[in-house]
Copies of this chain bind each other. A is one copy, B any other.
Amino acid sequence: MGIVPKLIRFFYVVHLVLLLIGVHGSVHGRLLSIPPKPDPADAAATARWLVSQNIWGVLNTISSDLGGAPFGNVLSFSDGLPNEGSGIPYFYLTPLDPTARNAMKDQRASFAVSEYSLGTCGKKDPENPSCAKMTLTGKLKLLDTSSKEAEVARSALFSKHPEMEWWPPSHGFQAYKLEIENIFLIDWFGGARPLTVEQYLKYKM
């Protein structure tokens, strides 16, 4: 057996192993491997894992254009460098988009993320309670551009979303954060899992 078929066989096996451990299934446009999901009984670990591993979610505000309707917007976010996040979701928003305009009039907001988008739920339905999902509710706040936190937010965002650094300056993108007041986490059967904001934020990754 020559060297070429041997090499082909070797790469095929490596490839299958990567598929089996879910690396291919969880990339979706980014070459990151997902660290193992925490034990669902550890609510803080699961919640922080969901926010650290996801790169997008739906940010909801009260629509001033649509008579106060709850307006959900698919947006990219980051809570920090991969696996070093703070748990605070940061966004990069332009007043050309309804979400930033809504927040100027009413800061009430929520942000929803799903384990399903990480590709780790296997064949389970996205609404199966063991496929984790979370909604963080609070206030969407514009960060002072020259503040330390705005700098942290921009590093967090640009590390996970390199495109953002090149978005048109004329659009006036600015860093925002969700100041969390309430956590709704489903990661197993039996309803929402109790988790305080303090427990969530003080958890060390």
- Footprint of B on A, CB under 8 Å? 1-2, 5, 8-9, 11-12, 15, 19, 24-25, 27-30, 55-63, 66-76, 96, 98, 108-114, 116-117, 119, 121-128, 133, 135, 137, 161-164, 182, 184, 191
Contacts and interface: CB of A to CB of B under 8 A. Distances in A.
19 contacts: A5-B8, A5-B9, A8-B9, A11-B12, A24-B24, A25-B28, A28-B116, A29-B125, A56-B126, A57-B58, A60-B60, A62-B68, A70-B72, A71-B110, A74-B135, A76-B127, A98-B184, A127-B163, A128-B163
Contact of A55 (B73, B111, B126, B133): B126
A66 B15 CA distance: 48
Contacts of A1: 1-2, 5
Per DSSP, chain A at the interface is: mixed
Contacts of A73: 112, 133, 135, 184
A70 B62 contact: yes
A74 B71 CA distance: 14
Nearest to A13: B8
Contact of A71 (B2, B60, B67): B60
Nearest to A135: B72
Most chain B Cβ neighbours within 10 Å, of A74, A109, A135, A161: A74
Nearest to A62: B70
Contacts of A75: 126-127
A135 B12 CA distance: 41
A124 to B, nearest CB: 6
Nearest to A160: B125
Given A12-B11, A66-B137, A137-B63, A74 B24 contact: no
A19 B24 contact: yes
Given A28-B25, A71-B135, A76 B9 contact: no
A165 to B, nearest CB: 11
